[in-house]
Amino acid sequence: MSLPAKTATKPKAIIGVSLKMYFGYQRTLDYCREVATIAFAHPAVQNGEIELFVLPTLPVLPEAARILGTAGAATGAQDIFWEDEGAYTGEIGGKIVAELGGRYAEVGHAERRRIFGEDDDVIGLKTAAAYRNGLTPVLCVGEPVRGTAADAVKHCIREVEGVLNRAASLGPARRTIVAYEPQWAIGAPEPASPEYISAVSAGLDAHLRTLPGQADSRVIYGGSAGPGLISQLDTAVAGLFLGRFAHDPKALKTILDEAAARQGLLSGTAAA
């Protein structure tokens, strides 16, 4: 007799959504309710085949965690500070994110690098803060300008190693989700080509999982990702990190269906 699907410990696909600062409080709650309804009815989310999370603006986190948690999805923060508490006016530590029900912490997004001047050292400190508070860091990396896939792999590996080496200097590593987001594709009308995404992600994934403590870590793609993309990607791309193309819950459902269909082909079982 096969074990119940709920015993699965390693989801085969990862779908994340960052709402950035687009939605107000009430609209975010409405969105989370719609996503929860979709997640609750989606077999691939319910049986652990898809790991689904939403990162709202921080004031909504406690209620979002309650709403999404009842449907087998999760939530987290779009940023954390590198210290857990102290005289850091306006900052939010990983300790309180976890206390509020968050399970993820996005770090290193290109906007934070560009607008706030964050470098690999700062992002490494934030990654360490995520680890020690039991949060899964969603580490964003990506080349600033379009070039060859080989050059992009080298750039991303340098960023990943810079961040994770700094984090390792402060404590043991944990599972990391690396979001490959080429900076030139963020906000663009279309993502990078499937061939380009697959080549970069495969190289990055192979290297990532050789690093200490990262055997269970995976690479997902962000950067104008939307419906129709995941089915075209190599299996080294574990999933998608979505922005504006997931603001419509119907589009998110389509992506979940596409991810489930891809998994069905991989596992030899019928897609839900």
Cβ neighbours of 109 (radius 10 Å): 27
> CA 152: distance to chain centroid?
19
- Residue among 258, 225, 229, 260 at smallest CA distance from 243: 225
Catalytic residue among 106, 118, 143, 181: 181
Catalytic, 247? Answer no
Catalytic, 42? Answer no
Catalytic residue among 109, 155, 159, 258: 109
Q: Which are the catalytic amino acids?
A: 109, 181
